[in-house]
Amino acid sequence: MPRVRKILKFVIIVIISVVVITVSPFLDRSVISAPPTNVESKCGEFQESCHLLLERIQQWIEQGNLTAARARLTEIEPFLPVEFKAVAQAISANIALRSGHYQQAISLLSPLTQLNNFTGNNRAALLYNLAQAYLEKAYVYQQQGQTTNSFQNKNLNNEITSNRLEAVRLLREIMSSASLKSAMAIKAALVLGELGEAIDIQSLYAAIGEYPEGLEKIEFLLKGAKLKGVDSRSLYLEAIEIAQKSKQPLGKSWAWGYWGEYLLEHKDYRGAIKASIEAQLPIGENPDWHLRGRWLSLAAKAFEELGDKNNALKVYEEAFFSIKQLRKDLAGAPISPELIDLIQGILRNYLELLLEDPLASQAQLKKATEILNLTALTEVERYFRSVCNVAPEAQAAQNKLTSREALIYTAILNNQVSIILELPDQTYHLTSHPIQKEELNKLIITWRKQLADRFGDDLPNTKNNGNILFNLIVADLLPILKAKQIEHLIFINDGLLRNVSMAALFDGNKYLIEGFQISYSSGLKSFKSHQIDFPSSLMIVNAEADLRGVEAETEQIATVTEGHKLTVNSLIDLKNNLQKNSYNLLHLATESQFSGLIENTSINIGEQTIAWTDFENFLRSLSSSLDYLTLSSCETAQGNQYAVLGLAGLGLRTGVSSVVGSLWKIHDDATTDFMSDFYFLWKTTNNIDQALQLAQIQRIKRSDQINRPAYWSSFIILR
Q: Which of 108-122, 298-312, 442-456 has the highest mean pLDDT?
A: 298-312
The pLDDT score that the predictor gives to residue 148 is: 52
Residue range 347-366: mean pLDDT, rounded: 96
pLDDT score of 13 more than 70:
no
Looking at residue 24, its pLDDT comes to: 31
What pLDDT does 640 receive? 63
Q: Who's near 451: CB < 8 A, 6+ residues apart?
A: 462, 500, 501, 504, 664, 709, 710, 713, 714
Residues 406-430 pLDDT 10s: 999 999 999 999 999 999 999 999 9
CA within 13 Å, CB half, 304: 19
The confidence score (pLDDT) of residue 614 equals: 87
Q: How confident is the model at residue 395 (pLDDT cuts 50, 70, 90)?
A: low
Across residues 136-161, what is the average pLDDT? 72
Question: 233-236, long-range: CB within 8 Å, 24+ apart, which pairs?
Answer: 233/262, 236/262
Q: What pLDDT is stored for residue 398 in this prediction?
A: 57
The answer to whether residues 717 and 546 touch, using CB atoms and an 8 Å cutoff, is no
SS (H, E, C) 88-140: HHHHHHHHHHHCCCHHHHHHHHHHHCCCCCCCHHHHHHHHHHHHHHHHHHHHH
Q: What is the mean pLDDT of residues 213-233?
A: 94
Q: pLDDT tens-digit profile of 533-567? A: 688 888 888 877 666 678 888 889 999 998 888 88
User: Over pLDDT 90: what percentage of the chain?
Assistant: 50
Supply the pLDDT for residue 528.
56
Whether pLDDT at 255 is above 70:
yes
For residue 491, the cross-strand partners are: 408, 520
Q: What is the mean predicted confidence (pLDDT) over 578-606?
A: 82
**Cα 506 from Cα 243, distance rounded (Å):** 60
| Percent of the residues in the chain that have a pLDDT greater than 70, as a whole number | 86
Question: 130 with 106: CB under 8 angstroms?
Answer: yes
What are the structural domains of the chain? 248-398 (1.25.40), 406-520 (3.30.420), 538-718 (3.40.50.1460)
Report the range of poorest mean pLDDT among 324-333, 354-363, 629-638: 629-638
How confident is the model over 67-93, as a mean pLDDT? Answer: 88
pLDDT at residue 370 in the model: 95
pLDDT exceeds cutoff 60 at 205: yes
Mean per-residue pLDDT, 515-523: 92
323 versus 379: the higher-pLDDT residue is 323
Mean pLDDT score, 318-325: 95
Name the phi and psi angles at 659, rounded to 5: -120, 125
- H or E element in which residue 187 lies: helix 183-194
- What beta strand segments (E) does 558-671 contain? 564-567, 585-594, 602-605, 608-611, 628-636, 658-662
Q: What pLDDT score does 38 carry? A: 41
- Report the C-alpha gap between 419 and 480 in whole angstroms: 13
**Per-chain mean pLDDT for the chain:** 85
